[in-house]
Chain A
Amino acid sequence: MRVLWFLASLGFTACMVALWQLASATGMASQIFLPAPSRVWEALMAGFSSGDMPAKLGATTARVFAGWALASLLGVALGALIGVSSRARIYIAPSLEFLRPLPVSALVRIFIGLLGYSEQMVLVVIAFGAFWPCLLSTIYGFSAVEPRLYEVSSVLGLSRWSMIREIALPSALPDIVAGMRVGLTVSLILVVVAEILGSREGIGYNILLAQRSFKSADLFAGIILLGMIGYASAMAINWVESRLVRWR
């Protein structure tokens, strides 16, 4: 049954692509703005066979994951410490709430000023951006642990570390994962910004170059590749989540 739905969905997507091809071929949409899927495919193949695309894809993907992983680690660790202490929350959380709506792209210039047009800059930008949603969600997750469980833990005489590990962490896990998901979305957004503003070779920068030379097929190819990175990583997180959060 599941297979049938998968095929139906695939079929629908194929129809969409066919419509796209039709729109381009008949000239309903300008070839510049909406290149035919066939041309986009050619561009992708050309890029891969020349070895150019894989290198850039690898670079961009590596940046996304490295930055995101770093951010998640720091975000969860710090978030756990702040989240379990109501005192820390009162002092720190309001400032974080204030910083939450700030677009990290606004800070890229500053990071360029500090770190130059370097790989570290890109990493720091991505990590910085992905850090906040992780941190905030983790704080929320730990703060929302059923208070009764804290009472149970103190009656049982659990150490603070045990309490965090056995009670708070499993309870906060869904929120932590949700925060990491948002962090991934932010990472993808920022890798493009960092590559463009920092003139670093990668898929994001490639898209910009394609736009400047009106090579719309390459442009679309780049967008598709970025979308695929996003899709694959979302699936990966889903898989990890289903393993970790089985009790929900």
Chain B
Amino acid sequence: MSQPAPIRPPIRAAWQMRIDPRPFALPLVAIGLAELLALRFVPTDSFSLAAPHQIAVDFVRLLVDGTFLSRTLETLGAALAGLALGGLLGLALGVALGLSEVLDRVTSMTVEALRPVPPTALIPLSLLVFGFGLTMEIAIVAFTTIWPVLVLSRAAVRETEPRLMEVAKVMRMSFGRRLTRIVIPGAIPRIFVAFRLAAAIALIVAVTVEIVANPRGLGYGMMLSSQSLRPAASFAFLVWIAIVGWAFNQTLILLERRLFGDLSRAAR
């Protein structure tokens, strides 16, 4: 018998880092339950329901053959283009309304009247004006994203640290300088948050428009599968949509922390 193996401390590689397993408990149980129920109650050729394992198969297939990717790019493209358009408009208006009390009060009724219009109500209008396609979707996303960006950037401008405004006054700074050196730099972190939230909305609205009316993107991919009586593929799209939405949000949150982590801790 050779001598016993030397005792070495366990080396932790990055991939061995401990992940808290508890958040995964519920989803795994839910999936397991769904699988059991499906095996018992759902026929394999069902028109509207599918078992998790069938969904998984179609998921991998759609991922590998690039369908997910191409459809995702379509949806993201529309969402981001709409966000750019609506966001910039909302930002310009929000900053203007934040700076000018008069402008804010005079336009308040118009803004409050336009804001509650649900984007889905505009789908038929957009169809009428633009027909099917990219433009129609961008238009609706743009209209929807104006409002959250407007409201939040207005608030960001309004909530400029009043002491800093006094400092600017004591230094007799011109309006332009006050705006570019104090108001805007101070508001940037919150404006980023506004865009982050609007981006999430943009994605949801884009997919919704595709589901209801537009023949492009992830929403359409899902509806197409469902209409061709392939429920597993339809559910696979659903799962993929959830993943894309989640990943998109997480990316933006990480970006925000990266850019503004130290500042948002330092300020206020």
Contacts and interface: CB of A to CB of B under 8 A. Distances in A.
Direct chain A–B contact by Cβ atoms under 8 Å: yes
Contacts of A188: 116, 118
Interface in A79-103: 90-95, 97-103
Contacts of A33: 128-129
A98 B31 CA distance: 15
Contacts of B246: 97-98, 100-101
B212 interface: yes
A51 interface: no
B226 to A, nearest CB: 5
B204 A103 contact: yes
Interface in B21-50: 22-23, 25-27, 48-49
Binding site secondary structure of chain A: helix
B120 A109 contact: no
Interface string B222-237: 1100100000001001
Interface stretch (B5-13, B106-114, B165-173): B106-114
Given A219-B125, A223-B125, A230 B116 contact: yes
Report the contact-size class of chain B (Cβ under 8 Å from the partner).
35 or more
Given A101-B245, A102-B245, A223 B109 contact: no
B204 A101 contact: yes
B242 A226 contact: no
Interface in B112-152: 112-125, 127-129
Interface of B: 20, 22-23, 25-27, 48-49, 105-110, 112-125, 127-129, 200, 203-205, 207-208, 211-212, 219, 222-223, 226, 234, 237-238, 241-242, 245-246, 248-249
Given A103-B205, A231-B116, 17 more contacts: A9-B106, A9-B110, A12-B110, A91-B25, A95-B26, A98-B27, A98-B242, A101-B246, A103-B207, A105-B211, A106-B219, A185-B118, A188-B116, A192-B123, A197-B211, A204-B120, A222-B121
